Structure 1
Amino acid sequence: MDVSQRYREAWEGFWSATSDTPGEAIWDAAPSLSAVPHSELFLPYADISLPVADLGCGNGTQTRYLATRFSRAVGVDLSHAAIGHARRADSEGVAEFVQLDLVDADAVRALHERIGDANVYMRAVIHQSDPEARPAVAAAVATLLGKHGRAFVAELTPASKAVLEQAAQGPDGPPEKLRRVFEHGLKPASASEEELPRVLRAAGLTTLDSGDTALPQTEHLPDGTRIDLPARWFVLAAR
């Protein structure tokens, strides 16, 4: 299976049109708002001597932080342009970055063979994947975990869609960073509340812990309020 050409081109187009400036992508929040609090939830379950794979790493902001908490960090993204951003931003070479299609099961298995059982960090990937690709994305998580890895998965809930719709209805239309998401055909928060746990279970993943959260964005409403998107997090192990 391969991701759709439309989906691949949407992400390649987005990252190709994005500069190296931190925070230009709406979801490129500082680690202090993302990977740091997520690690506090995740690390009690994870063996930090194992590598961590940051799936959907984008420009690698969170990957570089995760490299300080785990023995090795590997950022993975579908987009060649995103991986280019990530490598340029990682001037000290603290992480590795790999272009990989998560629904390419052979490529995912090859990565597992290369790095061994790994922990997985995945923030907001399943909800915006094409619906037919979501089971394969969850299966990629299970493959990379093997017997010993643990995963932290945070995904937008449908309530996020209402927040984004409200943000888009400002007097001047969507704020600039949100407008770029729409212009490139990306579809945030398109998974239902029930779908995510079902997809994770079907991939052979067991939930060890979960809870509600919000994913802070780098964009603000006209009144200056930061856009925070309702989300749910899961700590998972492979059955």
Structure 2
Amino acid sequence: MGVSSGYLEAWEGFWRDTPVIPGAAIWDCDSALSAEPHLELLSPYLDAAPLPAVDLGCGSGTQTRYLAKHFGRAYGVDFAAAEVDYACRADPDGMAEFRQLDASDTAAVERLHAELGTANVHMRGVIHQCEAAARPAVAEAVAKLTGERGRAFVVGLLSAAKTVLREIAEGGPPPKLASVFSHGLTPGEVDDAVVPELLCGAGLSVLAQGRIELVMTEYRPDGSRIDLPAQWLVVGRGE
């Protein structure tokens, strides 16, 4: 179906204006606080055969580069050209491969699947940020890419995250959060059951799940880090 032009331009503008510095984006935390613990939770469910990894909604590519160390081949995909350019510039050694791809574009996802075959998918904080109409197609993309043997590790914000963000924004948001708001980017309202329901609706089974923090790179005036309450799921076909 594809994203709307206004939504695309908002993300293009955000990544054009964000300096290529680790942690410059509010969600661009070190992989030791994100992909590394995610992989520890995912590993027991992985197929023994080596599969490539797809970081769906890769952003700066920080987590993609970590995945490349463990899966051999890792592909970071995102729908904004400025975002992909940012990820490439942040990866001068070419550890991972980055491509522009709209996960709600069924034909584009089909082409990627035809090229890569079955893959393991990492998706951190994407569905809540999608336009509502695109969310089912994004869940279908996870199902298509993982196929019969792949697994996906999916992180989605819990509804309580809205309260945290609202409290932080009172009296003026800190700089990194202000940058997100200034580009017209705000997390969508998603009930806690929506992410697992969308994935199951795409034909996937929830193999494991739990609570986790979506680690941020911004801090409160008292020095405490702003982390957002989230849920994690390992999904795939079969047991």
Query: What TM-score does the superposition give when structure 2 sets the normalisation length?
Result: 0.96
Please name the residue that 1:32 is paired with.
32
Structure 1 unaligned segments of length 5 or more: list them: none
SS in 2 for 1:161: helix
- State the aligned residue count: 237
Check the 8 A contact 1:157/1:189 in 2, yes or no: no
SS in 2 for 1:36: helix
- Greater Cα offset, 186-195 or 133-142: 186-195
- Greater Cα offset, 205-214 or 39-48: 39-48
1:189 Cα shift? 5.0
Query: What TM-score does the superposition give when structure 1 sets the normalisation length?
Result: 0.96
Q: What amino acid sits opposite 1:2 in the alignment?
A: G
SS in 1 for 2:24: coil
Please list, as runs of the form range in 1=range in 2, the aligned pairs for 1:118-137 lying within 5 A after superposition.
118-137=119-138
Give the distance between the partners of 2:41 and 2:187, measured in 1 at CA. 24
SS in 2 for 1:50: coil
Please list, as runs of the form range in 1=range in 2, the aligned pairs for 1:144-163 lying within 5 A after superposition.
144-163=145-164
Please name the residue that 1:85 is paired with.
86
Structure 2 unaligned segments of length 5 or more: list them: none
Please name the residue that 2:108 is paired with.
107
Tell me the C-alpha RMSD between the 2 structures.
1.1
Give the distance between the partners of 2:237 and 2:93, measured in 1 at CA. 33
Please name the residue that 2:4 is paired with.
4
Please name the residue that 2:45 is paired with.
45
- Greater Cα offset, 117-126 or 63-72: 63-72
Please name the residue that 2:191 is paired with.
192
Check the 8 A contact 1:55/1:120 in 2, yes or no: yes
Please name the residue that 2:204 is paired with.
205
Check the 8 A contact 1:160/1:189 in 2, yes or no: no
Please name the residue that 1:227 is paired with.
226
Deviant stretches of 4+, over 6 Å: none
Give the distance between the partners of 2:68 and 2:189, measured in 1 at CA. 30
1:100 Cα shift? 0.3
Q: What amino acid sits opposite 2:69 in the alignment?
A: T
Q: What amino acid sits opposite 1:193 in the alignment?
A: D
Report % sequence identity.
Answer: 55
Deviations 1:160-202, CA, capped at 9 Å, x for gaps: 01001111014xx000000111111112252111211211111
